[in-house]
């Protein structure tokens, strides 16, 4: 399977029979694995699509773009079911059940409950000083880990009542060289891995604040 422009994101359908992709052609495609990998356009933005996620329980496709919007698509119709305007370009996002966390180019973090996808649950400045690169929600959905281009990760909680548990730490640094945190992945137990532009990955326990 090939695309005409660079692919920036992809995800699986909940049945594992389809793959969705989005990229620099401003389009999202459905790839039917049972049909030999045939593709069909299912979404359109005015700029590159940076994030894509199949919301299985609601049967909609979520796409986030550098055009400063999120769109939700019912694949039976060619127009979005819902459009949410963002404060700036979407740089990173993650969804776990009804918890959606988004990082934008203006260093803002927005949290949504997908039961009310057009109304932000919380909106605040990023806890990190530099550009957001990746974000992942906790398995228990009480918070998220945010990685930046400055070799740093923030552990942040959804509810302000848990703000005393928030902290940040340095990582992916070799002497005076600082590397971006490119991705974060959680184990169901709550430990997580980071991978950086230094070509290494590390495992962390956020509850013990150590690797």
Residues 108-124 have a mean pLDDT of 97
- Examine the pLDDT at 37 and tell me if it is beyond 80: no
* pLDDT grade for 34, boundaries at 50, 70 and 90: confident
* pLDDT tens digits, one per residue of 54-95: 999 999 999 999 999 999 999 999 999 999 999 999 999 999
Model pLDDT, residue 209? 67
Model pLDDT, residue 168? 96
> Mean pLDDT for the chain?
95
CA 25, 27, 31: angle at the middle one, nearest 5? 115
What is the model's pTM? 0.92
Percent of the chain with pLDDT over 70: 98
């Amino acid at each position: 399977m090939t695309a005409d422009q660079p692919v920036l994101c992809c995800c699986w359908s909940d049945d594992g029979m389809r793959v969705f992709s989005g990229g620099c052609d401003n389009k999202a495609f459905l790839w039917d694995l049972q049909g030999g990998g045939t593709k069909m356009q299912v979404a359109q933005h005015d700029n590159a699509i940076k994030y894509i996620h199949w919301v299985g329980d609601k049967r909609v496709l979520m796409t986030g773009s550098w055009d400063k919007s999120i769109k939700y698509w019912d694949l039976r119709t060619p127009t979005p079911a819902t459009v949410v305007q963002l404060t700036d370009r979407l740089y990173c996002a993650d969804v776990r059940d009804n918890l959606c966390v988004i990082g934008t180019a203006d260093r803002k973090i927005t949290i949504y409950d997908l039961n009310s996808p057009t109304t932000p649950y919380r909106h605040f400045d990023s806890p990190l000083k530099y550009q957001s690169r990746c974000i992942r929600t906790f398995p228990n959905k009480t918070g998220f880990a945010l990685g930046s281009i400055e070799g740093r990760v923030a552990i942040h909680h959804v509810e302000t009542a848990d703000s005393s548990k928030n902290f940040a730490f340095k990582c992916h640094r070799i002497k005076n060289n600082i590397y971006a945190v490119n991705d974060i992945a959680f184990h169901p137990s709550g430990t997580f891995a980071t991978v950086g532009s230094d070509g290494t990955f590390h495992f962390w326990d956020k509850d013990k604040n150590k690797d």
